[in-house]
Amino acid sequence: MKKRKSNNRRTSSKSSKKVTRRTYTPISDALSQSTVFADCELAQGIKRHGLVNLFSRAFGQARRDDSEPLEGILGALLVWPLLRVASIHAFCSELCQFIQGRKEDGARKQDILYSLLRREDINWRNLAVSLCRSIFRDNLKELGPVSRRAFVVDDSIKTRRGKKVQGSSSHWDHTEGRTVRGHQVVELGIAGEAGLLPVDRQVSMGEKSAVNKPEDKGFRDERSACARDMKRAKDETKHETFRRMLKAAIRAGFQAAYVLGDAWFGCKENVALALECNLHAVFQMKRGNMLYRTDNPKASGATVEGTCYSAHQLYNLHKRKLRKASKKARYQTYRLRVWINLETKAHRQHRHPRWEEVIVVLSAPVKETDGVSSDERWVIFLTTDLEASAEKVLSTYALRWAIEVYFKEVKQNFGFLAEQSGRYEYAYASVHLSAMRYLLLFEAALRDGSLNYGEIRDKQTGILQVLSFAALLWQLFRALIEGALDRLKEAIGKDIVNEITAAIDQEVDDFLERALQCEPLLIQSQLKAEEVGYL
């Protein structure tokens, strides 16, 4: 019997470490409370920010019908995804018949909501950016000081299977590690202590299997807001889209100290943009052929060629120097100062190298995980903040977690590209309307006190704040937790206490991997994307 109990303990201990990974939806959780009503919160936000007036100014030259009840229409557009109905039509037919109309020729009844979503001239982007700017100005205290705010860029893909879906193309999905067809949306947000404000977004079309504009679904006016948006989607790369949106956000008055991006946005041009905009860049870099110079090219006596290494060579050269922040830390890092040449057209005549001093941080897990060695799971981060420690770089980069939460929220609950039509007008309106729903409800949760982003993160991820001070503070918290649990050993048993501690450790470790994008599948997906030319 003793042997059997011992085996059971080992089995339960192992199973306790397999914690189910979760992606959290704090806004939706706040709305699930019995005292919170989404339609009331939206209505109050619409009035507070004068959104009806902004909506009326978003129309183009083809003016709207003055008899249309704009406030009711806007409220219906924003609230319908929260009602768990299959489509806008179901919402209109059941609850909003009062805003339906008829065509002049006596044809079948058409929903006003559908007719608005089909309009090419409504500038949904300006409407969403104006709302975000208003909420940003009203909630500066909750977002924290400028030094703790960051512009965050990321992209997400919504799979669309139709062959005639305008604006769709083939993209590499790094979460699935394969090519999928659908809409890719590049999102720029501003992350702070309270969470993320989605600032701007753009559909981005790849070069493979792109659906530009079928003849039977052409634009009536190529100068309309929707037509210009699709032209940008087709002509710009996602890096060019990101750079345009960041410059526009700064001109609009959004302020932050950092700009963050994953390996898909880690390139020389984006680092140069951060310097141009007086921002500190923090990017995860590709493990490709980009060269890092270890000697100062501006020093007297420096050779023209210098000593340059690729990311792989840097890691192999310094992997023995990686150190843990404490004995029980699961990640080890090494910080070094290097120089990179930001000139991307050096092959042209009269082009001189543009050397910039940066900090790179090499990070790798201490032990082999899931059969994958540390030498395969290492990542490299780059920052232009020359005073930042390795812990500061990683804690700043972890602000990216907020945009992952945003994508999960809008995809699951806020109608992100949920319309079934293949017309680009619907996709253009959908991505901005979903952001507006999120913005209004995010601010409402902040004002009502039903959402405290920091507390939710700490509760759900096993004390997120340890990331701000890396593993050093985590050991302190862990010691306090173990001290508190020691008192319960006699009541609930030593084995159960050990299982609880192991579960907490695993949850923190899982979060670190997600926040810093060190998961084996993500790293392997990045390497595969580089091989096939997507990254």
Query: Average pLDDT for residues 200-214, to the nearest whole number?
Result: 76
Q: Is 122 helix (H, G, I), strand (E, B) or coil?
A: coil
CA distance 375 to 368: 9
Counting beta carbons within 10 angstroms of the beta carbon of residue 345, is it exposed (0 to 12), middle (13 to 18) or buried (19 or more)?
exposed
Whether the Cβ atoms of residue 429 and residue 88 lie closer than 8 Å to each other: no
Angle of the 494-516 helix axis to the 401-412 helix axis, nearest 10:
90
Type and span of the H or E element at 154: strand 150-159
CA distance 241 to 521: 27
The pLDDT of residue 190 is above 50? yes
> In this structure, what are the phi and psi dihedrals at residue 92, rounded to the nearest 5 degrees?
-65, -45
Q: Which amino acid is at 306?
A: G
| Residue 202, beta-bridge partner list | 186
> Tell me: the pLDDT tens digits for 440-463?
988 887 776 654 444 433 333 333
For 384-453, what is the HEC assignment? CCCCCCHHHHHHHHHHHHHHHHHHHHHHHCCCCCCCCCCCHHHHHHHHHHHHHHHHHHHHHHHHHCCCCH
CA distance 340 to 101: 61
CA distance 522 to 7: 34
Counting beta carbons within 10 angstroms of the beta carbon of residue 430, is it exposed (0 to 12), middle (13 to 18) or buried (19 or more)?
buried
Nearest to residue 111, comparing CAs of 152, 80, 154, 156? 80
Which of 311-315, 376-380, 461-465, 490-494 shows the lowest mean pLDDT across its residues?
Answer: 461-465
The pLDDT of residue 416 is above 80? yes
Structure tokens belonging to residue 52? 């009806």
The pLDDT of residue 435 is above 90? yes
Structure tokens belonging to residue 319? 């992997």
Nearest to residue 333, comparing CAs of 472, 129, 497? 472
> In this structure, what are the phi and psi dihedrals at residue 210, rounded to the nearest 5 degrees?
-75, 140
* Strands of 286-354, DSSP E: 292-293, 308-309, 323-324, 331-341
The pLDDT of residue 422 is above 90? no
Q: Which amino acid is at 482?
A: E
Torsion of CA 265, 269, 271, 275, to 10 degrees: -140
> Tell me: the pLDDT tens digits for 41-62?
777 888 888 888 888 888 876 5
Nearest to residue 344, comparing CAs of 283, 291, 303? 291
Query: Can you say how many angstroms the Cα of residue 72 is from the centroid of all Cα atoms in its chain?
Result: 31
CA distance 59 to 127: 10
Q: Sorting pLDDT into bands at 50, 70 and 90, what band is 10?
A: very low
CA distance 296 to 302: 7
Query: Average pLDDT for residues 245-270, to the nearest whole number?
Result: 94
> Tell me: the pLDDT tens digits for 307-324?
889 999 999 999 888 887
The pLDDT of residue 331 is above 60? yes
